[in-house]
Amino acid sequence: MRDLPKKLILEVTARCNFQCPFCYCVWHEHPELAGDDLPTDEWQTIIEECISRGVNDFLFTGGEATLRKDIWQLLAFTREKLPKGPIALFTNAASLTEKNIVFCREHTISLATSIQGLKTYAIQTGTRRSYAKLLTCMARAAELQCPFDVSITVTQINKNEIADIFAAAVLSHARSIQMGPMMLEGRARNLQDWALSWDEWEAIKETIRHLPNGGVPYGFADEMLCDCRQQPRHYLEKYGEKNHNPCPAGKSFGVIDPTGKFRKCLHTIENHEWRM
């Protein structure tokens, strides 16, 4: 039987209430990898089995995980079975309530989100929403001492306000900030108009390094293409990593997809090696 990484990302639903044009979820390219939501008891069986095989770190995501009515039940179940390991919930916060934040604090579950834009929030999320709800949730979570980690995806659309987005994350008391250029995967597979060049990405990193960060740790993900899948030559020439580091996918972390199957990374489409 396959060894499981210690950290697993659980894609508990393929449904989402946003339509980010740069969403990397693989089912935008291969709808058969999504499927209907598995019932609660199937996810509980998967989680129990993973813990019994040494998994000690879970990130719940989707799609948008909070669209599952039983997400709080699944999180509480996981905390009961894994009293000490890190558990996190990635959410766009569109339907997050104060009660949910208190629940997370009481169960020692951290939150994670993506700040897609400020003025560009609507176009970046494919909705008519504003960033206000998200930043309000983050600020309230900070007051309630529930940590929020932030990721920021940089595109041609939001690059001109990237300093403001970074400042918004800092001022909303993010615990950490991870930034990366848009990847040409999932819904963005052919969205080259939104992709950065490597020079643009390096310039953005330099801008960020000169900004006050209020003590919030931040990092950069230097990746525009997934290592774990075949890439066309013209993409590799234009978007391939300059300083290539071996990808830890499948070793230090892995993914259980909405159908309950294992994938080595979020972008992989090929390998469904293991099914509970």
Of the candidate residues 19, 95, 192, 252, the single one contacting ligand SF4 (CB under 6 A) = 19
Kindly state the smallest distance separating residue 202's Cβ from ligand SF4, in Å.
24
- The verdict on 23 binding ligand SF4 (CB under 6 A) reads yes
Strands (E), the chain: 7-11, 57-61, 87-90, 110-114, 148-154, 176-181, 218-220, 253-256, 262-263
- The verdict on 88 binding ligand SF4 (CB under 6 A) reads no
Is 45 or 127 the residue whose CB approaches ligand SF4 more closely?
127
Of the candidate residues 8, 9, 20, 188, the single one contacting ligand SF4 (CB under 6 A) = 20
| Segment holding 138, helix H or strand E | helix 132-143
What is the Cα–Cα distance from 131 to 24, expressed in whole angstroms? 21
Of the candidate residues 66, 92, 110, 155, the single one contacting ligand SF4 (CB under 6 A) = 92
- The verdict on 63 binding ligand SF4 (CB under 6 A) reads yes
What is the Cα–Cα distance from 192 to 197, expressed in whole angstroms? 10
- The verdict on 25 binding ligand SF4 (CB under 6 A) reads yes
Angle at 172 between CA 168 and CA 177, to 5 degrees: 70
Phi/psi-derived region of residue 154, left when phi > 0, alpha when psi is between -120 and 50, beta in every other case: beta
Is 105 or 129 the residue whose CB approaches ligand SF4 more closely?
129
**# of chain residues touching ligand SF4 (CB under 6 A):** 10
Number of Cβ within a 10 Å radius of residue 41 = 9
What is the Cα–Cα distance from 29 to 55, expressed in whole angstroms? 29
Kindly state the smallest distance separating residue 193's Cβ from ligand SF4, in Å.
18
Is 20 or 269 the residue whose CB approaches ligand SF4 more closely?
20
Kindly state the smallest distance separating residue 9's Cβ from ligand SF4, in Å.
12
* Cα dihedral sign, 149-152-153-157: positive
Kindly state the smallest distance separating residue 23's Cβ from ligand SF4, in Å.
3
Phi, psi for residue 50 in degrees, rounded to 5: -60, -45
CA-wise closest residue to 51 among 256, 265, 259, 273: 256
Paired with 154 in beta bridges are 181
Kindly state the smallest distance separating residue 16's Cβ from ligand SF4, in Å.
3
Of the candidate residues 10, 12, 46, 62, the single one contacting ligand SF4 (CB under 6 A) = 62
- The verdict on 64 binding ligand SF4 (CB under 6 A) reads yes
Is 20 or 46 the residue whose CB approaches ligand SF4 more closely?
20
Kindly state the smallest distance separating residue 14's Cβ from ligand SF4, in Å.
9
- The verdict on 179 binding ligand SF4 (CB under 6 A) reads no
DSSP string computed for 143-183? HTT--EEEEEEE-TTTGGGHHHHHHHHHHTT-SEEEEEEPP
Is 15 or 81 the residue whose CB approaches ligand SF4 more closely?
15
Q: Which stretches of the chain bind ligand SF4, using CB under 6 A?
A: 16, 18-20, 23, 25, 62-64, 92
